[in-house]
Each structure stands twice: as structure tokens, then as C-alpha cells.
């Protein structure tokens, strides 16, 4: 039975719950917008990283390089699309 | 031989093009904004011409000199991997050209977006220009008159066109006075221009809006300030008042001639107050606003 | 078909390795897809027209339940893949079943949440904001729902065919998909809900 | 009766009715013909169910040529209408439909298909693979594209064509201003075809990354394969944006959402924004494979290696990243401040640097070469001067302040045609002539080919150079007519003459195909051009399994070095070859996609649900099916190789 619950994954799970609780603090604790956004940004990206590495085994095969390139490129495009659009349609006036 | 043909015909075409430049609408500016864009266009044409000529000459030399027919039968082309210096030149020169053009672009873009050069301290005349299918409505809030499909402006005074649309996105364009700007239904845009010479200028919508798009044009007449004043007074004395019903009739899709009214539609059909459809900032947008401000600050510094 | 026994079952054939890399690249495309949905949500957030705004409709309770369900399901499917690598067929199947049940719970809560929104006058057609919100959440929810069906097919194949290179490969790829949906949810949780409620 | 009213064309004219009859008769003739010659079985077994990348490539090719014809006729009609002032050949509505379909068909259904055709046929051969990574998905991609294209094309006779431009800007494309179903067709057909493209993207990335012949490291890949890899990378990240934008547009039109509406908080420019977030990378999706083709053809006929291979690779990688950073230059005039415009101006101009590097590398490849002017080479060197002019005018357009004057004018039209035609169309034709013997085992006629080059090259210049002038003189694009006093007449007349020459050039190509099919010699070697890359190391036409023995690569120009330095490509003996089975599922699934699209266009929900169930059933079938492919025995390989003229060394 024990072998079915490897420490790495159990730790990963508790860590992700912890990150969620920290993120929830922005709702329950009074703080400024900047601090809240910083917390959200950090917890979200760390959380994504935990999923990627601990649960999705992104780095385990020989195609590690291709997989990480794809993910980084995707994140790059995502950030460009989101912030570029915000800059163009909202911020840049 | 064959390449030469292309070369000569394109150079020939280009010469025709250059000689014709002076008479082309965009390159015949009658105000500071259009003058800036015309200068930028000509500078870029000359710069680009250098590149084109270099490429063409290189191409012709290569094609003529290394043609199989002009070489010995037993000639075996060598294996050439590439040369660091050649590549540095191939990258370096385009970078220099791009930097040069970037500087011009940034400078001129700020220039044409701002108040017209030479009129920075004058009080601008505000005219609302609204597009509807397939007409242009011009409202003079100060003078309290409205015209359709034509607009009179005084020379030597900055004009601020407030652009918006009833319906599809249109693009307000008076090539001899300034470049284009969009007129949209959920936001008001500002276009700055000034006319230095009296005259009649072609204006049109440049952005496709459907069936009547080709005819969605208007005339801009620039008059010396005194004549302009006379015109205003004449309209105020003679034109019919614009009622809401009448305005709604004008908005019906279709074509109209030039029309004139007293009063403006701004009272009963005000221009949009949103920013691309979004309500103007509430509390949470502060940071974005600040970010925007700080970015602008850093640009200015 | 050449089977390489030195590797886990899901990587053991060339086609399996191709499938896994292909799915990762598909996930790259999914990143771009959700990024576009996020971008449109951020841009339309203030386009509330005459309808309610985000702070007025979001509720923390359902959000916490949904997040807990999905995070836990991501954990259990991770355990499922682990069990699969140990060759424990029954454990694998059980973990997969638990995962799908948690996913079903998530979808149920989401549907309940949508009905609440509609009661408050926020429908797909209310405003730019509501359209973007429902589309972002709906696309994620549709992915989860699709996953429920897909997962059921895989469980069926695990039961009938056992742990073969093929079924192991499918299960592993399904787990990638499920984790990815969890990652997307984290971003929805942070930048749609929590950002909207502060 | 009311039910059928929706299928009526809203603005019928005699020509449309005549086309309906013509289309109906052609369809009937094809069906009767296939039945009469008892070809249904052949068609089904060899083509509709095929998963062979070569056959799929050929089907893409045929579709691309068909679409070229459709888009070309549209173009001719436009140029004929504007050739003289106040012309009444077409009315405004017809003209609007024609330029809309011209744009969509040429970009999405012609150029994309052409790119896919050559990529499908050539890439696996160049890397020494037996097929792509996911052969069945490849078939699915093709049929999605094909059904999308067909759905778009039937709009002409059922329900009416889209008429709000290939960019389909909202709110013009919204229900209020485009009440006919035309724009629904636009949204759904591009959605279906786009899905196919996305799948191709994934498929080819995996193929190129994982299925290269032993010894072929990334930096030993032929340039065309490199460009295919980068192109597909762009596809994978750009097409989802289009998918979302189209889905939103569809929802706005069918379900009354407010993404792009002008009331209730919708944002009309959001469509334009997303359209170009996809649209600009799309330009590079088209042009990078073309660059790859030139990088194959120029070294072959200059008889020299490609100059600066490494910098070529770096420049396409740079282009792929930059292509995502420039989209705002398509709407500099939206009213965003000078700051935003300056940023996007500079990023746009930056693309000129890697592009310039490529141009200079091609020129330097000619240096010290021994240049042979075949048709393929003519198109390749003809590309350089015309593309340079198209390219430098692109830099001019990138300058925001000047763009305020060029935007939406004929100047812009001239620019992008002078980039896309030499950049993409020339490359595709060059590639067609170059790889034709590999595809079909005979060569296209060189004399006719050269004649077509001259007609097309001169035609392009005549058709588009005058537009620079009329644009600067104030002619906006998409105007169905203009008055005589504007003075645009002469330029548009020259344009029309150029367009007619282009048409002659394309007719010559089609005639060439017919002529060569009938008369060309079948007795050619498998390497008629004395080429340099792996695809020429196998037989022409290529056997099912591509290579009897997987080649082993030692250098960048593997085949050339095998010929010149005696590297041995094929080591060892024949072994059993594992090949994928054919499958009818992709075709059937895409028929359901067609039905789904058609039902959604006309808001026929019951049909749409049935079609959707059909699609999911196909997916379920795929999930449960066990298909391990088949093996080709050693005897069969030996027999095939002998029939094709002996084993390859």
C-alpha cells in the first residue's frame, strides 16, 4: 500500500495545497493591489511548475529538450499575446 | 540578359514613379502633419533605393559572371562554408539602416500624433466627425452647426477632429492634410491637423465599410480665417435646425449629398464615452494607469 | 513492433515515444489557446455594459471546492501513473476512477455556479464581460467534460486489455492532459476569480 | 418552403445561376464518370483512405491548383471591374464578395495547401523517414482542410458568399451589418481547415524531431526541413489564436454574445487584434517554406553548397520569434498612442535584418557557382529582385507615421502581393517543377515552363507596380469603382493587363502539366537535376516505403557527398518494413465536420447535433480500435526495387 503513495507526489500535493491557501490569502487578508497581484503571480507560476515537474514528468525522457522548448515557447507566446493585447487596447493610450 | 530586362524595366518604372511623385496626393502636402509624413516617405524611398540597387547589381553580376554557359565545362564550383566578416556586414548594415529608420519613425510618429508643428500654442478648433453608412457627419460644437459630407476649416489654425462612428469601423483620411485614423463606434479618437494653404482637399473613408464604401467621401475646404467666419455666420443665419428625427433619418444606410444644419447631433446623440467598449477605469485599474504613466515618463526622459 | 523493456511501458515503443512528444506539443498549442481566452477576458473585464461586474458575482465557497477537487484529482491521477509504473493494474484503475469522480464533482459544481450566475442576471449574452467569462470557464469545463469521457474509455481498455504498451501510453497521455487542465485552472483561480474579488 | 428560403443566394445574378448549373453538371459528370469507369473502389482504396504522406501531398497539390483557379478568376474579375473608371461589370455587392473570397481562397486554401503539399511530399523523404509520425492524423488534416475549402466554396451557390473582406472586421462582419449567412461560412470553414493545419503542425514537428535518419543531427538537416520545422512551430502557436477568434466570431453571430459587438461592453477591435496575432505569423507560415524551397533549388542549380547555412538557420529561428511581436502594425491607425506604435514599428523593421541575411546568403550561393537556368531556377532567381522590392516597401509600411498614409490603400495591396507572389507562389511553382519528377516519374516541359515564368514575372510587375502609384495618389483598397477625375484609370488599366498576363502564365503551367503528362519521357533517372539532398537518393516515383533501407547520414549534403565523396548511404540488407494501414475514418469524420459546419451556418441545430455525435463516434472508434499496421516482406521489397530499376546504393 505504501509504495502506491510515493513521498515526492504526496509532498507535491501538500505543497500545491499550501500554495492555494497562500493565494487565498489575497481574498481573506486585507492588502494592497500590488502585493496581492505579486502573491498571485508567484503562487500561480510556482504551482504550474510543480505540476509540470512533479506530476507531468516533463524532464524524464530523452525529449526533455523538445518538451521544455515547447513549453517555454508556449509561455512566451502566451505572455506576448496577453500583455501585447493589453498594451495595445488598454494601456497604451 | 533576362535579368537585365527586369532590372531596366523596374528602374524605368521607378523613374516614372519618382517624377510623378510631386503630383501624387500623398506627396503633395498642404499642412504640417502631411508634410512630415511625406518627408518620411521620401526619405524611406531613397534609403530603400540604395538596398534595391545593391541587391540588383549583386544579382546581375552573379548571374552573368557565374552562368554555366560562361564557364569552362570542367569547372567544379568550390565548397564555401561562409565567412564571419561577410556575415557581420550582412547583419550590420541592415541593423544600421533599421536603427536610422527607427529614429525617424519614432520622432515623426510623435510629431504627427501631437499638435501640428508651428501651432502648438494656438487654441484648436474642435470638429466632431462621425461616420455612418456611408456618410460623414461634421459637428462644430462651438459654432453650433452641422454639415454632412463636407467640412470647412480655417487655414493657419490647428484643427482637432474627434472621430467616431455609427456602425462599422471607418478610417478618416484627408491625404493632403494628415494620415488616417479610425472612427469607431465605442471610442472617440483625436486627429490633429492644420492646413497652411486655402483650397479644396479630397477626404474619404479608407476602411472598408460595406456596399457604399467606394462613395463614402467628403470635401475639405480650407478658407482664410475671415472667409471661414463669413461662412459660419451665413450658415447660422440660413440653415435649417437639425432635429433628432432628422438626424436619425440621416443615419439610415445610403448615400447623401452635402447638407447643412444649425445645431449639432451631439446634444441628443452624444459621442461614445467608453474606451473600446470598456467603462473608463475604476479603482482596480489604478496600477495599470500608473504603469502606463510611468512608461510614458520613461519614454520622455 | 519493437518493445524496449528498459523503459517504462508507456515509453517502450517508438510510436509511444512519438505519441508522448506529440501530445506535449499539442499542450503547447493549448497554452496558446487558453492564453488567447485569458487575453480576451482581461480585455473585456470592464466591458460590463448594463450587467453585473466580476466582483459582484464571484463566490469564494464554490471556488474553494472546485479548486480542492481539481487539485486532488491531479494528485490521484499522478498516483495512478505511479501505480501503473509499478505494474499494479487494479490500483491504477482505482486511482483513475477516483480521478474521474473528482472531475465529475468539479463539473457539477461548475454547472451549479453557472446556474447561480444566470439567476443573478449574468448570461452568455449579457455583456462583453459575461461572454468572455463564460467562454473561458466553459472552454476549461468542456475540456474537463471531454476528459471524463476519454478517461472512461481508457479505464474500459485498462480493464479489458490490461497494462500493455498501448494502454499504458494512452493512460500516461491522459494524465498529461488532466494535469494540464489543473494548471489552467490554477490560472483561472488566480487571475479570474481571486483578482476579481480583491 | 420557408425552410428552404434560407439556402437562397441573397443577391442572385445571371452569372451565379449559370455557375450553379455549371457546378451541378460538373459534379454530375464526375460522379457518372467515376461510376462508368468503375473507379469507386480505386478511389476509395488508393486515395480517400490513404495515409501515405506522398499521396496526401499530391491531393493537397490538386486542391491547391483548383483553389488557385477559383482565386485567380476572382482576381481577374476584380481587375477587370476596376480597369476603367465607373465600370459596371460588377456592382458593389458582387465586388465585395469577390475580393473577400479572393483573399480567403488564395491565402488559406491555395497558398496553405500548396505549402502543405510540398511539405508533405518532401519532408519525410528529406529526413529519410518512411512516413510522418502520425500518418492517420495526416489524412485527417488533409480532409479537414479539404472539407473546409469545400464548405467555403459552396457559399457561392448556397446562401451567399461572405462580403466583409478576408479580414472580416467586426462590427461590419456582425449580424447587424452582414445579415446574410456568408460570414458564417467564413467563420466555420476557416475553423475546420484551421483545425487541420494545427494537426499538421504537431505532426510535422514530431516527425522532424524524432524520425530523422541516423546521423542526421539538427544541424545536418536540409534547409527545407529546417524551414518546415520552424513553420510548423509557428503554426502550433499561431493557429489556436485564430481558433479562439473564429469561435468568438461564430458565437457573436449565432448566439448573440458580445465579444466584438458595439454595445454592452463588446470590443470591436478585439477581433482585429486577435486576427492579426494569428495573421502576421501566418504570413511567415507561408513564406518560410518558400525560403526553404529556394534554399534547396538555388544550391542545386548553382552547383554549390548553400552559403552560410548556420546563419540561415539562425535567421529563420529569429523570424519565428519576431513574427509574433509585430501584429499591431496592421492597425497603427487605431488610435493607440505613439509609444505603442513606435514599439511595433521597430519590432517590424527588425524582421528585415534576418530576411536581409537570407537574401544575401542566396546571392552568395550564386557566387563562384555554375548557374544553370532551369525553370525552377528561373523562378528562384526571379524571386530575389521582385521580393526585394516587396520587402523594402514592407519596411516603409512599418514606419508608423508613414503608414498613416499607406494604410488601407493600394500601396499596401501592392506591397503584400509583391511579397506573397514572388515569396510564396514563385516558390511553389519552382518547387512543383523541381520535385515533379520525384512525384510522378517524368519531368515538366522546360520550354513551356520558362514561357510561364516570363509571363508571370512580367505580369506581376505590371499588375502591382502601378498600385504603388495609385495608392500614393489616394486610391483606397476595396473600392469597387472610382470616377474618372481621380486619375486612377491608367494605373488600374496597366494592372489589369498585368493580371491578364499572370492568367496566361498560370494557364501555361496547367497546359504544361497536361502536355508533359501526355508526351514527356518516362525514362528519367531518379536524380534528374543532379541534386544534393536525400529525397533524390530513392527511386522516382517513390515506392510506398520511401527507402528500402534507412539511409545513414554523415554530412549536411548527404546525397551530394554520397555521389562525390563516396559516402555509403544504404548499409546492410533489406529487412521487413512496418507500414501503417489505410483508414476510412478520417474521411468519414471530416464528412461529419462538413455537415456540422453546414448545419451551423444555417443554425440547423438538430443536424448539427447529429453531426457532432458522428464526429465523437469516430473518435471513440479510434480510441477502441487496435491497429498495428502491416509489414512489407523482404521478397516484396526486392521485387519492388527491381521493378523500379535496381537497388539504391
- Using CA atoms, how far residue B184 sits from A91, B167, B271, C48, D271, in Å, is 18, 8, 10, 19, 13
Q: Provide the CB-side half-sphere exposure for B95 (13 A, CA).
A: 6
Contact call for B285 and C48, based on CB within 8 A: no
For residue D7, being part of any structural domain is answered with: no
Task: Determine contact, residues D380/D298, Cβ cutoff 8 Å.
Answer: yes
C-alpha span between D252 and D173 (Å, rounded): 10
Whether the CB of A9 is below 8 Å from some CB of chain D: the reply is: no
Alpha helices, DSSP H, located in D303-420: 309-322, 338-350, 352-366, 375-398, 400-406, 410-420
- Using CA atoms, how far residue D447 sits from B247, D48, D246, D376, D502, in Å, is 66, 35, 45, 12, 17
C-alpha span between D127 and D220 (Å, rounded): 10
For residue D212, the SS3 value is coil
C-alpha span between D359 and D354 (Å, rounded): 9
Residue-level pLDDT at D617: 96
Calculate how close chain A gets to B72, using CA atoms only, in Å: 48
Helix and strand totals (H; E) in chain C: 7, 0
C-alpha span between D358 and D361 (Å, rounded): 5
Average pLDDT over residues B4-17: 59
Whether the CB of D612 is below 8 Å from some CB of chain C: the reply is: no
C-alpha span between D217 and B204 (Å, rounded): 57
Task: Determine contact, residues B24/D472, Cβ cutoff 8 Å.
Answer: yes
- Using CA atoms, how far residue D320 sits from C36, D2, D351, D405, in Å, is 19, 51, 10, 28
For residue D590, being part of any structural domain is answered with: no
Residue-level pLDDT at B294: 39
More confident residue, B294 or A11: A11
* Cell numbers describing residue D421: 507572389
For residue D9, being part of any structural domain is answered with: no
Domain boundaries, chain A: 1-56, 61-93
Residues constituting chain C: 198
17-76 of C, contacting A, C-beta below 8 A = 17, 20-21, 24-25, 27-29, 31-32, 34-36, 38-39, 42-43, 60, 64, 67-68, 71-72, 74-75
pLDDT at B1 over 50: no
What residues contact residue D80 under an 8 Å CB cut-off, 6+ apart?
A: D87, D89, D496
Q: What is the pLDDT of residues C24-47, one digit of tens each?
A: 999 999 999 999 999 999 999 999
C-alpha span between B127 and B137 (Å, rounded): 10
Domain B2-113 has CATH 3.30.70: no
Whether the CB of D244 is below 8 Å from some CB of chain C: the reply is: yes
* Nearest partner of A67 among D166, B127, D414, D209, judged by Cα: D209
Q: How many CB atoms lie within 10 A of CB B101?
A: 24
* Cell numbers describing residue D246: 473564429
Calculate how close chain B gets to D122, using CA atoms only, in Å: 25
Q: What is the pLDDT of residues A18-66, one digit of tens each?
A: 999 999 999 998 888 899 999 999 999 999 988 888 888 877 888 889 9
Average pLDDT over residues B124-141: 94
Whether the CB of D338 is below 8 Å from some CB of chain A: the reply is: no
pLDDT category of residue C4 using cuts at 50, 70 and 90: confident
For every residue of B134-180, DSSP letters joined together read: TEEEEEETTTTEEEESEEEEETTS-EEEEEEEESS-EEEEETTTEEE
Average pLDDT over residues B263-281: 86
Residue-level pLDDT at D11: 77
pLDDT at B284 over 50: no
pLDDT along chain D (649 residues), means of 10: 76 79 86 89 92 95 94 94 92 93 95 95 95 95 96 90 92 92 95 96 96 94 96 96 96 94 90 96 95 96 93 94 94 92 95 93 93 95 95 95 95 96 95 95 95 96 94 94 92 95 95 95 90 92 92 92 89 91 95 96 95 96 90 92 80
With b for 16 or more beta-carbon neighbours within 10 A and e for fewer, the B109-120 pattern comes to: bbbbbebbeebe
Q: What is the pLDDT of residues D278-335, one digit of tens each?
A: 999 999 999 999 999 999 999 999 999 999 999 999 999 999 999 999 999 999 999 9
Residue-level pLDDT at C1: 59
The lowest-confidence range among B275-279, C65-69, C143-147 is B275-279
Nearest to A89 among C43, C71, C175 (CB): C43
Q: What is the pLDDT of residues D525-536, one digit of tens each?
A: 889 999 999 999
Domain C57-197 -> CATH class? mainly alpha
Which residue has cell 447535433?
D609
* Cell numbers describing residue D534: 536525400
C-alpha span between B65 and B48 (Å, rounded): 26
Distance of CA B163 to the CA centre of its chain: 14
Q: Which domain holds residue D305?
A: 39-583+627-643
pLDDT at A92 over 90: no
In DSSP terms, which residues pair with B191 in a beta bridge?
Answer: B161
C-alpha span between D231 and D226 (Å, rounded): 8
Before D541, cis peptide (omega within 30)? Answer: yes
Write the DSSP symbol of residue B211: T
pLDDT category of residue B86 using cuts at 50, 70 and 90: confident
C-alpha span between D104 and D110 (Å, rounded): 9
Of all residues in chain B, what percent carry a pLDDT higher than 70?
A: 85
Query: What is the pLDDT of chain B when averaged over all its residues?
Result: 86
Burial degree of B282 (CB within 10 A; 0-12, 13-18, 19+) = exposed
Work out how many domains chain D is built from and give that number.
Answer: 1
For residue D603, being part of any structural domain is answered with: no
What's the complex ipTM? 0.93
Distance of CA D394 to the CA centre of its chain: 21
Q: How many CB atoms lie within 10 A of CB D42?
A: 12
C-alpha span between D145 and C106 (Å, rounded): 35
Q: For residue D160, is it left (φ>0), alpha (ψ between -120 and 50) or beta?
A: left
For every residue of D110-152, DSSP letters joined together read: IIHHHHHHHHHHHHHHHTT-SS-S-HHHHHHHHHHHHHHHHHH
Domain boundaries, chain B: 2-113, 125-262
* Cell numbers describing residue B210: 460595406
Return the sign of the alpha-carbon dihedral for residues D169, D174, D178, D183.
Answer: positive
* Cell numbers describing residue D268: 470591436
Contact call for B288 and A90, based on CB within 8 A: yes
Entry pTM: 0.94
For residue B292, the SS3 value is helix
In this chain, the answer to whether the domains covering B2-113 and B125-262 adopt an identical fold is no
Whether the CB of A49 is below 8 Å from some CB of chain C: the reply is: no
Burial degree of A45 (CB within 10 A; 0-12, 13-18, 19+) = middle
Those chains having 3 or more beta-carbon pairs within 8 angstroms of chain C are: A, B, D
Q: How many CB atoms lie within 10 A of CB D468?
A: 27
What does CATH list as the number for B125-262?
A: 2.60.40.420
Contact call for B101 and D395, based on CB within 8 A: yes
pLDDT category of residue B298 using cuts at 50, 70 and 90: very low
* Cell numbers describing residue B263: 445645431
Residue-level pLDDT at B8: 58
- Using CA atoms, how far residue D540 sits from D42, D466, D478, D535, in Å, is 22, 44, 46, 9
Domain boundaries, chain C: 57-197
Q: What is the pLDDT of residues B151-176, one digit of tens each?
A: 999 999 999 999 999 999 999 999 99
Nearest chain C residue (CA) to B280: C46
Q: What is the pLDDT of residues B176-221, one digit of tens each?
A: 999 999 999 999 999 999 999 999 999 999 999 999 999 999 999 9
Residue-level pLDDT at B287: 42
For residue D305, the SS3 value is coil
More confident residue, C1 or D622: D622
Residue-level pLDDT at B285: 41
pLDDT at B13 over 70: no
Calculate how close chain A gets to D340, using CA atoms only, in Å: 6
pLDDT at C72 over 90: yes
Calculate how close chain B gets to C68, using CA atoms only, in Å: 28
Amino acid at each position: 500500500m505504501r509504495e502506491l503513495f510515493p513521498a515526492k507526489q504526496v509532498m507535491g500535493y501538500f505543497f500545491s495545497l499550501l500554495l492555494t491557501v497562500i493565494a487565498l490569502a489575497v481574498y481573506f487578508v486585507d492588502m494592497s493591489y500590488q502585493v496581492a497581484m505579486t502573491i498571485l503571480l508567484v503562487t500561480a507560476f510556482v504551482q504550474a511548475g510543480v505540476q509540470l515537474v512533479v506530476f507531468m514528468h516533463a524532464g524524464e525522457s530523452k525529449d526533455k529538450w523538445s518538451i521544455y522548448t515547447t513549453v517555454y515557447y508556449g509561455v512566451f507566446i502566451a505572455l506576448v499575446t496577453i500583455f501585447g493585447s493589453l498594451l495595445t487596447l488598454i494601456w497604451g493610450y | 540578359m533576362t535579368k537585365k530586362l527586369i532590372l531596366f524595366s523596374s528602374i524605368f518604372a521607378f523613374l516614372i514613379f519618382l517624377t510623378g511623385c510631386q503630383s501624387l496626393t500623398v506627396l503633395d502636402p498642404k499642412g504640417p502633419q502631411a508634410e512630415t509624413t511625406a518627408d518620411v516617405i521620401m526619405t524611406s524611398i531613397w534609403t530603400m533605393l540604395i538596398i534595391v540597387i545593391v541587391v540588383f547589381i549583386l544579382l546581375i553580376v552573379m548571374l552573368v559572371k557565374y552562368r554555366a554557359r560562361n564557364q569552362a565545362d570542367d569547372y567544379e564550383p568550390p565548397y564555401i562554408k561562409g565567412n564571419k566578416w561577410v556575415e557581420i556586414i550582412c547583419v550590420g548594415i541592415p541593423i544600421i539602416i533599421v536603427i536610422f529608420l527607427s529614429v525617424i519613425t519614432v520622432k515623426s510618429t510623435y510629431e504627427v500624433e501631437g499638435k501640428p508643428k508651428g501651432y502648438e500654442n494656438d487654441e484648436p478648433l474642435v470638429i466632431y466627425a462621425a461616420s455612418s453608412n456611408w456618410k460623414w457627419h461634421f459637428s462644430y460644437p462651438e459654432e453650433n452647426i452641422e454639415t454632412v459630407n463636407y467640412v470647412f476649416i480655417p487655414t493657419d489654425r490647428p484643427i482637432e477632429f474627434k472621430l467616431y462612428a455609427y456602425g462599422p469601423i471607418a478610417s478618416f483620411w484627408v491625404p493632403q492634410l494628415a494620415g488616417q485614423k479610425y472612427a469607431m463606434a465605442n471610442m472617440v479618437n483625436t486627429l490633429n491637423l492644420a492646413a497652411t494653404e486655402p483650397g479644396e482637399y479630397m477626404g474619404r473613408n479608407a476602411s472598408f465599410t460595406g456596399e457604399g464604401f467606394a462613395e463614402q467621401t467628403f470635401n475639405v475646404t480650407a478658407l482664410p480665417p475671415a472667409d471661414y467666419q463669413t461662412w459660419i455666420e451665413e450658415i447660422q443665419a440660413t440653415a435649417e435646425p437639425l432635429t433628432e428625427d432628422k438626424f436619425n433619418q440621416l443615419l439610415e444606410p445610403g448615400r447623401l449629398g452635402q447638407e447643412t444644419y444649425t445645431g449639432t447631433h451631439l446634444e441628443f446623440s452624444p459621442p461614445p464615452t467608453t474606451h473600446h467598449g470598456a467603462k473608463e477605469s475604476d479603482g482596480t485599474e489604478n496600477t495599470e494607469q500608473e504603469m502606463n504613466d510611468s512608461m510614458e515618463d520613461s519614454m520622455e526622459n | 513492433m519493437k518493445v524496449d523493456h528498459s523503459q517504462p511501458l508507456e515509453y517502450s515503443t517508438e510510436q509511444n515515444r512519438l505519441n508522448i512528444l506529440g501530445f506535449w506539443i499539442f499542450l503547447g498549442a493549448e497554452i496558446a489557446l487558453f492564453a488567447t481566452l485569458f487575453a480576451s477576458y482581461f480585455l473585456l473585464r470592464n466591458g460590463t455594459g448594463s450587467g453585473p461586474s466580476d466582483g459582484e458575482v464571484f463566490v469564494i465557497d464554490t471556488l474553494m471546492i472546485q479548486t480542492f477537487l481539481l487539485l486532488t484529482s491531479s494528485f490521484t491521477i499522478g498516483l495512478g501513473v505511479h501505480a501503473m509504473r509499478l505494474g499494479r493494474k487494479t490500483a491504477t484503475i482505482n486511482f483513475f476512477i477516483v480521478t474521474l469522480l473528482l472531475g465529475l464533482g468539479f463539473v457539477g459544481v461548475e454547472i451549479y455556479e453557472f446556474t447561480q450566475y444566470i439567476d443573478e442576471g449574468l448570461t452568455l449574452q449579457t455583456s462583453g464581460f459575461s461572454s468572455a467569462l463564460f467562454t473561458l470557464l466553459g472552454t476549461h469545463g468542456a475540456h474537463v467534460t471531454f476528459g471524463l469521457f476519454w478517461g472512461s474509455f481508457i479505464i474500459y481498455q485498462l480493464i479489458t486489455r490490461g497494462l500493455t504498451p498501448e494502454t499504458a501510453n494512452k493512460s500516461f497521455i491522459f494524465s498529461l492532459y488532466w494535469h494540464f487542465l489543473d494548471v489552467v485552472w490554477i490560472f483561472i483561480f488566480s487571475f479570474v476569480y481571486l483578482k476579481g474579488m480583491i | 418552403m420557408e425552410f428552404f428560403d434560407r439556402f437562397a443566394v441573397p443577391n442572385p445574378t445571371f452569372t451565379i445561376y449559370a455557375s450553379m448549373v455549371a457546378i451541378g453538371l460538373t459534379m454530375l459528370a464526375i460522379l457518372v464518370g467515376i461510376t462508368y469507369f468503375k473507379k469507386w473502389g480505386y478511389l476509395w482504396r488508393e486515395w480517400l483512405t490513404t495515409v501515405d504522406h506522398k499521396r496526401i501531398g499530391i491531393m493537397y497539390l490538386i486542391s491547391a491548383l483548383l483553389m488557385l483557379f477559383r482565386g485567380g478568376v476572382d482576381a481577374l474579375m476584380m481587375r477587370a471591374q476596376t480597369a476603367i473608371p465607373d465600370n459596371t461589370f460588377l456592382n458593389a455587392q458582387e465586388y465585395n464578395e469577390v475580393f473577400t473570397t479572393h483573399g480567403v481562397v488564395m491565402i488559406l486554401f491555395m497558398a496553405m495547401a500548396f505549402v502543405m503539399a510540398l511539405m508533405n511530399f518532401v519532408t519525410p523523404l528529406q529526413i529519410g523517414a518512411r512516413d510522418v509520425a502520425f500518418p492517420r492524423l495526416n489524412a485527417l488534416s488533409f480532409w479537414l482542410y479539404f472539407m473546409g475549402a469545400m464548405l467555403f466554396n459552396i457559399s457561392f451557390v448556397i446562401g451567399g458568399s461572405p462580403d466583409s473582406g478576408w479580414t472580416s472586421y467586426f462590427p461590419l462582419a456582425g449580424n447587424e451589418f452582414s445579415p446574410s449567412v456568408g460570414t458564417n461560412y467564413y467563420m466555420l470553414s476557416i475553423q475546420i481547415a484551421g483545425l487541420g493545419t494545427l494537426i499538421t503542425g504537431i505532426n510535422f514537428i514530431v516527425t522532424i524531431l524524432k524520425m530523422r535518419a541516423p546521423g542526421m543531427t539538427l544541424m545536418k538537416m536540409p534547409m527545407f526541413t529546417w524551414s518546415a520545422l520552424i513553420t510548423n512551430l509557428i503554426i502550433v502557436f499561431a493557429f489556436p489564436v485564430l481558433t479562439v477568434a473564429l469561435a468568438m466570431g461564430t458565437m457573436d453571430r449565432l448566439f448573440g454574445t458580445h465579444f466584438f459587438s458595439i454595445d454592452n461592453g463588446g470590443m470591436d477591435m478585439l477581433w482585429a487584434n486577435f486576427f492579426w496575432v494569428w495573421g502576421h505569423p501566418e504570413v511567415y507560415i507561408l513564406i518560410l517554406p518558400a525560403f526553404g524551397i529556394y534554399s534547396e533549388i538555388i544550391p542545386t542549380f548553382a552547383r554549390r553548397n548553400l552559403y552560410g547555412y548556420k546563419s540561415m538557420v539562425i535567421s529563420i529561428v529569429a523570424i519565428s520569434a519576431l513574427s509574433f511581436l509585430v501584429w499591431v502594425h496592421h492597425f497603427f491607425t487605431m488610435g493607440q498612442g505613439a509609444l505603442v506604435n513606435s514599439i511595433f514599428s521597430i519590432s517590424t523593421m527588425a524582421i528585415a535584418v534576418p530576411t536581409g541575411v537570407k537574401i544575401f546568403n542566396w546571392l552568395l550561393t550564386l557566387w563562384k557557382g555554375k548557374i544553370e537556368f532551369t525553370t525552377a531556377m528561373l523562378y528562384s532567381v526571379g524571386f530575389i529582385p521582385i521580393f526585394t522590392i516587396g520587402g523594402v516597401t514592407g519596411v516603409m509600411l512599418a514606419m508608423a507615421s508613414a503608414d498613416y498614409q499607406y494604410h488601407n490603400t493600394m500601396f499596401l495591396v501592392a506591397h503584400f502581393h509583391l511579397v506573397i507572389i514572388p515569396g510564396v507562389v514563385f516558390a511553389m511553382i519552382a518547387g512543383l517543377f523541381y520535385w515533379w519528377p520525384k512525384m510522378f516519374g517524368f519531368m515538366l516541359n522546360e520550354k513551356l515552363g520558362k514561357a510561364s515564368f516570363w509571363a508571370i514575372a512580367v505580369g506581376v510587375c505590371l499588375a502591382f507596380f502601378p498600385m504603388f502609384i495609385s495608392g500614393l495618389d489616394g486610391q483606397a483598397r476595396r473600392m469597387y469603382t472610382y470616377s474618372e477625375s481621380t486619375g486612377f484609370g491608367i494605373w488600374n488599366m496597366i494592372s489589369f493587363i498585368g493580371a491578364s498576363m499572370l492568367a496566361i502564365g498560370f494557364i501555361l503551367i496547367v497546359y504544361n502539366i497536361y502536355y508533359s503528362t501526355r508526351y514527356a519521357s518516362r525514362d528519367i533517372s531518379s536524380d534528374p537535376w543532379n541534386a544534393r539532398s536525400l529525397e533524390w537518393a530513392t527511386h522516382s516515383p517513390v515506392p510506398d516505403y520511401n527507402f528500402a533501407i534507412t539511409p545513414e547520414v554523415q554530412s549536411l549534403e548527404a546525397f551530394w557527398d554520397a555521389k562525390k565523396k563516396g559516402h555509403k548511404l544504404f548499409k546492410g540488407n533489406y529487412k521487413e518494413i512496418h507500414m501503417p494501414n489505410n483508414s476510412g475514418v478520417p474521411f468519414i469524420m471530416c464528412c461529419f465536420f462538413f455537415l456540422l459546419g453546414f448545419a451551423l451556418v444555417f443554425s440547423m441545430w438538430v443536424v448539427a447535433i447529429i453531426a457532432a455525435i458522428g464526429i465523437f463516434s469516430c473518435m471513440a472508434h479510434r480510441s477502441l480500435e487496435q491497429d498495428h499496421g502491416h509489414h512489407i516482406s523482404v521478397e516484396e521489397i526486392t521485387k519492388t526495387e527491381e521493378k523500379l530499376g535496381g537497388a539504391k546504393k
